[in-house]
Amino acid sequence: MIDESFLFNADIEPPLILRSQVLRTEAEYDEEKNPERTALQLLKRLIQCVGKRAYLVIASQGAEIPNRVRSYKGLLWNQEELRLLEHDRHEVEVRDGRTRLVAVVDLQNFSYASSDNFLLSWTNSFLFLSEKNLLEISEYAKKWIDYDQVSILPFNFRLMAKDLRDLDSSAILRYFPADNGHNEMIAIVGDGNFIESDIEECLESM
């Protein structure tokens, strides 16, 4: 049993709930030639079932001294498909004059066809399911950056949970690949009524 604090490191109190679902056992995951591509298709199926807009929120693992080349390129420079989708990006200052790069991508026209590590990185990305628009999500993403530049985990889950309490039709989805004795799974945190009415049945069908 995975500790819920690993799935989402914040106090989950009403009206929020956390739901998790195993997608494949570690053995099933390892048997596949391209488990990442299957993972993307599973995420696509879930998103289509829920029926909300899906946004990729990603931030750089490291906080670095800003420089013009890094600022210009941003996080999506080498991700052609994501870069061509509607997106917003920021450079958020943390402690000691360092910054983290942040990007929010609207996945409405994403193909889910390639093994894109950005969508499947549990350390520095998550999916946001919501009826809100890109710029609204982007403003939240900036607020959720952890100002501890030492950590490779860029997000402050306590701040995320605090804001989620006021977002009654939104949820955060985190994906975890199978690894080190753990099964592949997803975890979703959001308003309890929203998850129970719009997401839970979709999760159970995975």
Tell me if 3 is assigned to some domain: no
End-to-end Cα, the chain, rounded Å = 19
Q: Is residue 63 part of a domain?
A: yes
The answer on pLDDT for 201 being more than 70 is yes
The pair phi, psi for residue 16, each rounded to 5°, is -80, 150
What is d(CA 8, CA 45) in angstroms, rounded to the nearest whole number? 23
Phi, psi of 41 (to 5 degrees): -70, -35
Does residue 40 lie within any of the structural domains? yes
* CA 72 distance to own-chain centroid: 23
Looking at residue 115, what is its pLDDT? 63
Q: Across the chain, what does the average pLDDT equal?
A: 92
Mean pLDDT score, 198-206: 90
Question: 119-130 pLDDT, tens per residue?
Answer: 999 999 999 999
Q: Look at residue 150 and tell me if it is in a domain.
A: yes
Domain extent, residue 88, equals: 8-204
Q: What is the pLDDT of residue 116?
A: 60
H or E segment at 59? strand 53-59
Q: What is the CA radius of gyration of the chain?
A: 16
Q: What pLDDT does 186 receive?
A: 96
Give the model's pLDDT for residue 67: 93
Which residue type, as a one-letter code, is found at position 73?
Answer: K
Whether residue 30 is contained in a domain is answered as: yes
Strand 53-59 and strand 87-93: the pairing is unpaired
What's the rounded mean pLDDT across residues 181-191? 95
Whether residue 70 is contained in a domain is answered as yes
The structural domain count of the chain equals 1
